[in-house]
Amino acid sequence: MALRVTPLGAAQQVGRSCILLEIGGRNVLLDCGVAAHSSGSYYPEFSLLGEVQSLDVVIITHFHLDHVGALPYLTEILGYHGPILMTHPTRAIGPIIIKDALSFRRDAEGLTPEMVDAPFDRARCFQLQERVEIGDLSVTSFYAGHVLGAVMVHLECRGQSALYTGDFTMVPDYHLSAARAPLALHPDVMITETTCCTTIRSSKRREVNDLCSKVQDCLEKGGKVLVPLLVMGRSTEICMILEEHWAKAKLAYPIFVISTMAQKARVFFQTFASWGSKRVRSTDRPFAFPHVRFGTLSELLALSGPAVALAGSAMLDFGPSQELFKSWAPEKRNLIVIPGYCLPGTVGNLVQAKEKKIELSSGIVQVRCEVDHFSISDHTDSRGIVELISQVAPRQVVLVHGGLQLMDTFRAIVQKRLRLPCHMPAVGDHVEIPSPAVLEAWASSLLMAQSEPVPPPPVLGVPLIHAKAPVVTTFRGELRKRDRGALELHAAQGPSARAKAKARRILIRQKGRLPCEALKAALRDSNQAVPEDLSSIFEVAGATILVDQIQAGTAAVTISWVAGLEDREPILQQMLDILG
């Protein structure tokens, strides 16, 4: 059965991340988010699922609405009762964000704030790099940066494997570290976000310096600075950046965070400080911000002196940030700093595009203030995605969570530079990834005893070639039949791989010489056609025999098998006896 990827959302678009992954006969829903802005469908195309109970598990990568917002709809309205996996920070913060969003939405199709907690209450939480088994499906999470508690997930089931990145950052933030995925995971498919897949950023240090000097200039001229953002997301990062600069430049301007969620956000960052960057973990009070105050919208609207305001929504579509935008944008000495990505069609996107007149439902806003965009983004840039693909070394790549044209440009990079098959499916398209045959072997104790010395575990992802006979490798891993008959042993992932090196999957390969007549007899005995020219690959009794060379009635062969001693057919035993 082929591995299959079907996006129910986030396909050639940003928003409503929701991907059906069929892997090893299991159905996994990767994320369950809502649309990132008001036009178009709010929920993913759940109708493509058929029966929701056919899902084996739902995995949520992080608490952003476009990754988790539709989870209560799936469970409370559509009736999914199966397992749900997420991290502790996502379980703590997700419901708060969804309830807040519901207070702005009128068309949530029957979903009420009272329904939101249920799926989070029964979700199972995983630790970083913990391998969670759900039947024969195993799920391992890796740190993704991006926002507090965000992970990417590696899934394995019956010899098939996939890595789903969720959203990720490859450069460390002030408050979070960069994503950490193991080298050479070699999944059959890597499903990656592509939000900023054509952006190349300058260094973080330069971006931060530019931001701080622009903000300081504006304040010194008596202006006000508006930073629209998701308070539960980037506000901690911006506060840390500004506080560091305030201390260096000895500034005293107030920094207001305007949101009912601001104090909760602070508590969560303190509670889950172990998810933070090295800077956070090595500082006594990393979130002691002496200049930051929790303000109200009316307080800010009445303010006359210079100040910085961090307020949601991030794309200026609603909320206090839009109210402040209406009030502050017409004044020349003010500054609007857009720190992240704004979807096309949003007010933030128009501001970013330096539109001078912006029409809102309440009237036209004249934008006379300065506007600047800084990539203090929580999404990696083009280089970061290429770097992660190169590190992970998948067999194929599927692009999601990005604009159509950007994805198209980036796909060419993956195909030409990385030489990998790369897909960018639309909603409802199926991408089928054919799987290599997987051979599993269990070594008997007798075989183990006969096979001395036991070599050390192989290097992850490096093909095994053993010239001596007989050679046995004991190592937990997975044998994969590669092109041209080669076999590779892939190590099991996770920190426990070395500890479990005595586990039972093995590859045995030996070289030797075999009389052509013996080989022909073996083929006849196993009811196979005997070609005149023996230079080929044969399968005999579960072993692969590669004829390297024939000379004077003798074949130089490489014989590989993947079975325990007691499983061997007598015919194979005879051949091994001849090989000696």
Q: How far apart are the first and last CA of the chain?
A: 39
Minimum CB separation of residue 362 from Zn ion in Å reads 29
Is residue 10 within 8 Å of residue 61, measured between CB atoms?
Answer: no
Going from the C-alpha of 10 to that of each of 17, 57, 111, 429, the distances in angstroms are 5, 19, 21, 12
Q: Which stretch binds Zn ion (CB under 5 A): 64-72, 87-95, 444-452, 475-483?
A: 64-72
| d(C-alpha 107, C-alpha 282), whole Å | 45
Binding mask 470-509 for Zn ion (x = CB under 5 A): ----------------------------------------
Q: Comparing C-alpha atoms, which of 470, 528, 451, 460 is closest to residue 497?
A: 460
Read off the tokens for 184.
């050479």
Residue from 16, 64, 266, 490 touching Zn ion (CB under 5 A): that is 64
Q: Which is nearer to Zn ion, 233 or 457 (CB)?
A: 233
Q: Using alpha carbons, list the distances in angstroms from residue 136 to 91, 264, 476.
A: 25, 38, 16
Catalytic residue annotation: 193
Q: How far apart (Å, rounded) are the C-alpha atoms in residues 469 and 530? A: 26
Site for Zn ion in 166-195 (CB under 5 A): 167
Q: Which is nearer to Zn ion, 76 or 167 (by Cβ)?
A: 167
Q: How far is the CB of 360 from Zn ion (least distance, A)?
A: 26
x-or-dash pattern for Zn ion, window 130-169, by CB under 5 A? -------------------------------------x--
- CB-wise, 195 or 259, nearer to Zn ion? 195
Q: Please, what is the minimum distance in Å from the beta carbon of residue 146 to Zn ion?
A: 6
Residue nearer to Zn ion on the CB measure, 69 or 159? 69
Smallest separation, CB 168 to Zn ion (Å): 9
Q: Closer CB to Zn ion, residue 22 or residue 167?
A: 167
Three-state SS across 288-336? CCCCEEECCHHHHHHCCCCEEEEECCCCCCCHHHHHHHHHHCCCCCCEE
Please list, in sequence order, all residues whose beta carbon lies within 8 angstroms of the beta carbon of residue 350, skipping any fewer than 6 positions away.
358
Q: What's the burial of 421, exposed, middle or buried (CB within 10 Å: 0-12/13-18/19+)?
A: middle
Shortest distance (Å) from residue 78 CB to Zn ion: 23
Nearest approach in angstroms of CB 193 to Zn ion is 8
Position 224 contacts Zn ion (CB under 5 A): no
Closest CB 378 distance from Zn ion, rounded Å: 7
Whichever of 16 and 64 has its CB closer to Zn ion, that residue is: 64
Size of site (CB under 5 A) for Zn ion: 2
d(CA 343, CA 340): 10
- Considering beta carbons, is residue 144 or 472 the nearer one to Zn ion? 144
Give phi and psi for 70, each to the nearest 5.
Answer: -95, 0
How far is residue 565 from each of residues 339, 447, 578, measured CA to CA in Å?
62, 6, 16
CA 428: distance to chain centroid? Answer: 20
Q: Which residues bind Zn ion (CB under 5 A)?
A: 64, 167
